[in-house]
Structure 1
């Protein structure tokens, strides 16, 4: 199969040539097929978010390439959409206005926007809340708005940067199931950053395991548990085995980090 997204030998260096130069990514490479949900996991500071922002075109690598369907990415574009960990909603806009924001920028008509926005508001279970403002919503509801906004622009690829880190554990588990339902129904390709081993195994078709900084992908772990998955999936023996594999990787990398004096 041809990869929908491919990145090859990505190097990202911040403050190049200065005493505080940081080599964030080193020769990071990977391929992602259409319809996959890929989690990226690694020790703190390994460059997970930098990699995601590079795939989005927000960060330009010093060397290496990123391409979608064989076309090199030079910057942000409509084929990708980002969901941030801090919701990134505009507090002066209602739920409807937040979800509609990208569509308004693209020049859609009012009728097109209304039908489109309401479809995605219903999809994330927020029908009846379209005229509420962010301060009137719970953390989980805010994150649903962010997800609806990203889906509304109909990207080929959805990039999610620790989207559930700011919500409580019970809501987080519910949102994990919701994301899987949406991904399968909408047939989207998702790249998901997380610190949670449990979350990575539950959501992913594959997990990219990264090294300490400068980050690179050293293991591409296939999660061979069929979809659809439910919370009961987490009690399966194979689920625990995958968690153990990832934990052993993280433990080894954090030990390396400690020995380098970076912890």
Structure 2
């Protein structure tokens, strides 16, 4: 995963204030800035309520920042577009549609004709290991299979940046570890740029080329840690001393932020 000099995604001084000016105003993000380069796998980690998902939804265009700017390849953006796609933690599949139709949804929404999207949809269904399940419905799938559909749908629109909001939180631990390996294979094969939200330190270290650490609310970026472990990674990677050192460093940060939450009475 090699950086380019020009960031593919840049965000400057993002502030998000919910219910601004009201007694229940919440300052979710404060002066958040960063750069994401092509081919990076970035995980964002921090204490609960620190604004991780708010940041991700703002970068996707689903949420308008109170102030600040977001740009893709140097061009400022103001809402959702084909350059970014989201994979949600709760699968967000349409139960009345088949695997094929769920994966094709974003392409159809973009105005693509069925005759032009078939090969692409089948490619990504095969890529996530669901070949032969094209005509199954979500209720016929396991949790891990449903999340694979969500990942295939995100890839199918071929975004410049794929945003993943705790995509494995709703599946069991064994499936989660397998999915981690599978996602890394896909990312490397497809050469995609990913921003990933997780509460799991282990997951963040395993997947990421860089980890962004956030503070308690109002959420701010307080550090960035480059994970200097070469790809491809396997589950055996987790036994490396360097891997354990990264986990301890991030845990020390997270523990300190959680203590700050308790002192503020927000935990």
Q: TM-score range by the shorter chain?
A: over 0.9
Q: Say whether residues 1:206 and 2:216 are aligned partners.
A: no
Task: State how far apart, in whole Å, the 1-side matches of 2:255 and 2:182 are.
Answer: 30
How big is the shift at 1:111? Answer: 2.3
- Structure 1 segments of 4+ aligned residues over 6 angstroms from their partners: none
Q: Say whether residues 1:46 and 2:66 are aligned partners.
A: no
Q: TM-score, normalised by structure 1?
A: 0.99
Deviations 1:147-188, CA, capped at 9 Å, x for gaps: 000100110100000000000000000000111011111011
Task: State how far apart, in whole Å, the 1-side matches of 2:101 and 2:239 are.
Answer: 40
In structure 2, the residue matched to 1:3 is: 7
RMSD: 0.6
In structure 2, the residue matched to 1:241 is: 245
Task: State how far apart, in whole Å, the 2-side matches of 1:207 and 1:162 are.
Answer: 14
In structure 1, the residue matched to 2:17 is: 13
Bigger shift: residues 57-66 or 24-33: 57-66
- What number of residue pairs does the alignment pair up? 263
Q: Say whether residues 1:178 and 2:187 are aligned partners.
A: no
Task: State how far apart, in whole Å, the 1-side matches of 2:227 and 2:119 are.
Answer: 37
Bigger shift: residues 97-106 or 147-156: 97-106
Task: State how far apart, in whole Å, the 2-side matches of 1:252 and 1:110 are.
Answer: 52
Candidates 66, 77, 99, aligned match of 1:73: 77
Deviations 1:24-52, CA, capped at 9 Å, x for gaps: 00011111110000000000000000000
Question: Tell me, which stretches of 5 or more residues in structure 2 are unaligned?
Answer: none
Q: Say whether residues 1:150 and 2:154 are aligned partners.
A: yes
Task: State how far apart, in whole Å, the 2-side matches of 1:106 and 1:200 are.
Answer: 32
Q: TM-score, normalised by structure 2?
A: 0.98
In structure 2, the residue matched to 1:128 is: 132
How big is the shift at 1:121? Answer: 0.3
Q: Say whether residues 1:89 and 2:93 are aligned partners.
A: yes
